[in-house]
């Protein structure tokens, strides 16, 4: 991969490279927790609440068979469990086990801290501006809440 020499980038290039940077942090932390880069965001998402299989597939942009395989692998490690959806007995919801919730909380904390360290080379005012602008981009594009600000069941009361 080519090195960045400080030249100006287009908006698309800068955003794609930023996505790669965040993905690299996610993957590195996932490996440290003995998870795959697919399992880590699933656990972080499930911190907020249980999700249905269709909802998970839609959120992650995966086929139903792919999300089923991902959930199966997490179930085998006792990180998640499937339960009947009270609104639709034919459907299943995926929820964290106690072991999965503890791991997800630790994982979330480390990922959040390491990703937040990425712009530390910027002045505080620039970081605040970056945060405000990124927040608008996320809201304007209705990005699913795959990673929340420490919103886990114990923090929500």
**Cα separation of 2 and 12, whole Å?**
17
Instruction: Confirm if 56 and 7 have CB atoms less than 8 A apart.
Output: no
Average of per-residue pLDDT values in the chain: 87
What share of the chain has pLDDT > 70, as a percent? 89
Domains assigned to the chain:
11-156 (1.10.10.10)
What's the pTM value of the predicted model, to 2 decimals?
A: 0.79
Give the mean model confidence (pLDDT) for residues 125-150. Answer: 85
Give the mean model confidence (pLDDT) for residues 85-90. Answer: 78
User: In the predicted model, is pLDDT for residue 156 greater than 60?
Assistant: no
**Cα separation of 6 and 82, whole Å?**
49
Higher-scoring residue by pLDDT: 87, 113: 113
Burial 40-61 (b: 16+ CB within 10 A, else e): bbbbbbbbbebbbbebbbebbe
């Amino acid at each position: 991969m080519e090195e960045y020499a400080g030249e100006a980038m287009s908006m698309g290039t800068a955003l794609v490279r930023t996505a790669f940077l965040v993905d690299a942090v996610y993957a590195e932390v996932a490996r440290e927790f003995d998870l795959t880069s697919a399992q880590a965001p699933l656990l972080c998402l499930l911190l907020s609440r249980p999700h249905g299989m269709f909802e998970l597939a839609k959120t992650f942009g995966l086929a139903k068979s792919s999300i089923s395989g991902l959930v199966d692998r997490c179930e085998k490690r006792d990180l998640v469990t499937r339960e009947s959806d009270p609104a639709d007995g034919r459907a299943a919801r995926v929820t964290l086990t106690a072991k999965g919730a503890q791991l997800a909380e630790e994982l979330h904390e480390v990922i959040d801290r390491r990703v937040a360290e990425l712009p530390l080379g910027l002045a505080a005012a620039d970081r605040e501006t970056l945060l405000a602008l990124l927040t608008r981009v996320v809201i304007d594009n209705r990005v699913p809440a795959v990673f929340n600000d420490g919103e886990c069941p114990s923090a929500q009361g």
